Structure 1
């Protein structure tokens, strides 16, 4: 058994100064043979395995620290992504074209909503403006400006 297996480094880790990650000792034919029997170990095997334990423990600590730092960075990036996404959503909402429709155009659109319902119901009388499910009420519950326009348009009621 070789005292120190040759290191194998991930290309991702090498970009971010990861320590060299050793190959698995389970791939070593000597280790595979030792794992299949209960015979005593040679002294050279004991020394090599103790060195592996020591080095692996140190490397594990280093890797855990690096993982913690990367996790903190990831959390910071995810928080930033959420804030930027919210900024984007808010900006798009504020710039939405519906917000710039003039009141007279809204009144005209609203009148089609009310009259269309009357036509569908084939009523010859004015719509029942007391029914909260009907257009005058529904339109007035969308937003403050629609409420103002809806309530100020007598023909809807």
Structure 2
């Protein structure tokens, strides 16, 4: 390993791998004086200082090349570690107790994630990023458990003033997946939209449920 030290004769910072040549060096005290004061260098000083700069430039170039090589090696190691870490996580997931949980137990757990009707009414839109819709996008197994479970689809909260075109088809799907329905429908006395009427008509068709 290369280490830095000051030459005992001239005071130049040097390395064990490339020691300084003191043949044309100025005295150590003179060099130290130039480094620590504003005294201008003279003729012999200039030649020595230029030699020091040239030697230092060469060593810096070698260090930059070594640093670049080490950084590239570090990058490769980090990428390899990241790949191995993800692989370990994938294998740990294979042993997850959740993978062995019976479907009926999963369905009960999913039911506990459902928002209450009052909570759903506060949403600014019909949100497919919340339960139970989001559960169908986690994995194929969760989808198989979620879709056939009527209890997960039985609660529908609709605020007429917040309905957009897409939720109508989603509401139809949710009604199809539920057996009994718990519906909260809020109309508006200030505005009327044809889409809100369609939703109300759709719900009225399921009044027996």
Shorter-chain TM-score tier: 0.5 to 0.7
Question: In the TM superposition, what are the counterparts of 1:5-24 in structure 2 within 5 Å?
Answer: 5-8=10-13, 17=17, 19-20=18-19
2:138 aligned partner: 142
Kindly indicate whether structure 1 or structure 2 has the higher relative contact order, using CA contacts under 8 Å at least 6 residues apart: 1
Shift of residue 141, structure 1, vs aligned partner: 0.9
2:33 aligned partner: 28
Which one has a larger percent strand, Structure 1 or Structure 2? 2
Q: Does 1:74 align with 2:39?
A: no
Q: Does 1:55 align with 2:60?
A: no
Give a deviation string over 1:3-56, Cα, whole Å, max 9, x none: x722445xxx76xx4x458x9x87415973533xxxxx7xxx312321220232
2:6 aligned partner: none
- Cα 1:63–1:77 change in 2 (3 A) is same
Which one has a larger percent helix, Structure 1 or Structure 2? 1
Give a deviation string over 1:106-152, Cα, whole Å, max 9, x none: 4313224326637x449xxxxxxx97455332211112222233235
Aligned length: 130
1:108 aligned partner: 105
Given candidates 76, 91, 94, the residue that maps to 1:94 is 91
Give a deviation string over 1:33-85, Cα, whole Å, max 9, x none: 533xxxxx7xxx31232122023213312321222222222222123113212
Q: Does structure 1 retain, via aligned residues, the 8 Å contact 2:11–2:32?
A: no
Q: Does structure 1 retain, via aligned residues, the 8 Å contact 2:136–2:142?
A: yes
User: Hey, what's the Cα distance between the residues in 1 that align with 2:44 and 2:82?
Assistant: 56
User: Hey, what's the Cα distance between the residues in 1 that align with 2:36 and 2:111?
Assistant: 83
TM-score, normalised with respect to structure 2: 0.46
Q: Does structure 2 retain, via aligned residues, the 8 Å contact 1:139–1:147?
A: yes
Alignment root-mean-square deviation, CA:
3.9
